[in-house]
Structure 1
Amino acid sequence: MNALEMETILQQTPARRFEKVCAILDQNDNQPQRLIPILQAVQEEYRYLPEDVLTFVATGLDVPPARVFGVATFYSHFALKPKGKYCIRLCDGTACHVKRSIPILEAIYKRLGLSSKCNTTEDMLFTVETVACLGACGLAPVVVINEEIHGQVTPEAAVKMIDEIEEREKVSCT
């Protein structure tokens, strides 16, 4: 999703904006105990959890908004800010750190023009995150792009992966 598409979503009328959320709530029978799967589905739809949508979910489930926001902020899987189409997660756990994950992060940031303060590209194609552990220590250093695991990554290999994704994206747009 690019910035224009994001702006379009934000400008939609409330009824249209919440149409998908209503369907998700209906699929889960508006059951408060289904909050986590509901939030997962909402995040899959929007690629993050917009504040107004969380409030709408709370109303639809008849639970306090604080409960919904509490769950959304407790689990690291949930995002309250928009993420790019490709989420690059770099492990910086002990094994990965010792095997030099930081130079990989620096190469990714440099290639994409990002930093720890601004971790999503303007075109909403990439988001870069570091995580404490991905549980694949034997493959250290590890990078996960969306759900695809890459082990024994070097800074050069990480940049090459980004180049390949950008090339595929150019081809799919033509």
Structure 2
Amino acid sequence: MSVRRLAKEQPASFAFSKATKAKADWWISKYPETRRASAVIPILWLVQKQEGWVSEPAIRAIGDLLGMPYIRVLEVATFYTMFQLEPVGTAALIQVCGTTPCMLRGAGDLMKVCEKKIGPKDTLSKDGKFTWQEVECLGACANAPMAQINDYYFEDLTPETIGQIIDDFAAGKAPQPGSRVGRNSSEPEGGALTLTDPKLYDGSAAQPIRKLPNSDPVPA
């Protein structure tokens, strides 16, 4: 893992929004008072959802909220790569999977499109709308190549479709996540080849239940 540091330029302050604070309090309530620090990961995530990234003033605010030394919050924020330590695009954070299955299916070409349209990876675009990154496996290998954009997976991508997605975000649209070839979940392209009989899963073929004396119901 590469060294992760806080951004050189930091905001002067941070404040929890009303909604973020309410949700943070909800997370804190799930733990004993002496274990408030256990809520640090979900609260870091809430802060990132509010601001788009995790700043140094935010880390201090979380430490104060949870009664944690600031360095302990910093340790968590810098360890988990899901936390962005620098400002990211306001329209889209594009994380392109660069692990073997996606690379074999053309992830490198997706990255070329991102670099052409957005700029260097791990760098905020000039208009402030986009950031793109190369990341490790996101667990959607069957639908390679794919990318996580903001909170959602976009799968079965091509250079053309990733380019259109970027253009749509730039125009203020909300592209539909999921497969770009119309497949459902990780089924084969063109549709499922097995378990296609609805009776196998809609309950119509279920056996009737009979009850034995002094026993739990069992299938007939």
Q: Deviations over 1:13-59 (max 9, x none)?
A: x5xx4243893554435821111111111111111111121022212
5 Å-filtered alignment, 1:98-137, equals 98-112=104-118, 114-116=119-121, 118-137=122-141
Is 2:97 the counterpart of 1:91? yes
Q: Distance in 2 between matches of 1:19 and 1:100?
A: 41
Give the alignment's TM-score, normalised by structure 2: 0.63
Partner AA of 1:38 in structure 2: I
In 2 relative to 1, CA 134–70 (structure 1 residues): closer, same or farther, beyond 3 Å?
same
Equivalent residue in structure 2 for 1:45, among 50, 54, 57: 50
CA deviation after TM superposition for structure 1 residue 92, in Å: 0.5
Q: Which protein has the larger Cα radius of gyration, Structure 1 or Structure 2?
A: 2
Q: Percent identity?
A: 28
CA distance in 1, matches of 2:152, 2:55: 26
* 2:167 corresponds to: 163
Matched with 1:78 is 83
Larger RCO of the pair (alpha carbons < 8 Å, separation 6+): 1
Q: Verify: 1:141 aligned to 2:138, yes or no.
A: no
**CA positional deviation for 1:168:** 3.0
Q: CA RMSD in A?
A: 2.3
Corresponding residue of 1:23:
21
Q: In structure 2, what is the Cα distance between the partners aligned to 1:91 and 1:79?
A: 17
**Unpaired segments ≥5 residues, structure 1:** 1-8, 170-174
Which of 47, 62, 67 pairs up with 2:67? 62
Counterparts in 2 of 1:152 and 1:43: CA distance versus 1, 3 Å:
same
More helix by share: 1
**C-alpha distance in structure 2 between counterparts of 1:69 and 1:19, whole Å:** 18
Q: Secondary structure at the match of 1:10?
A: coil
Cα distance change on mapping 1:41 and 1:95 into 2, 3 Å = same
Distance (whole Å) between structure 2 residues aligned to residue 144 and residue 60 of structure 1: 31
SS of residue paired to 2:171: helix
Q: Counterpart of 1:23 in structure 2: which amino acid?
A: K
Distance in 2, Cα, partners of 1:143 & 1:33: 30
Q: Which moved more, 1:19-28 or 1:48-57?
A: 19-28
1:63 alignment partner, SS class? coil
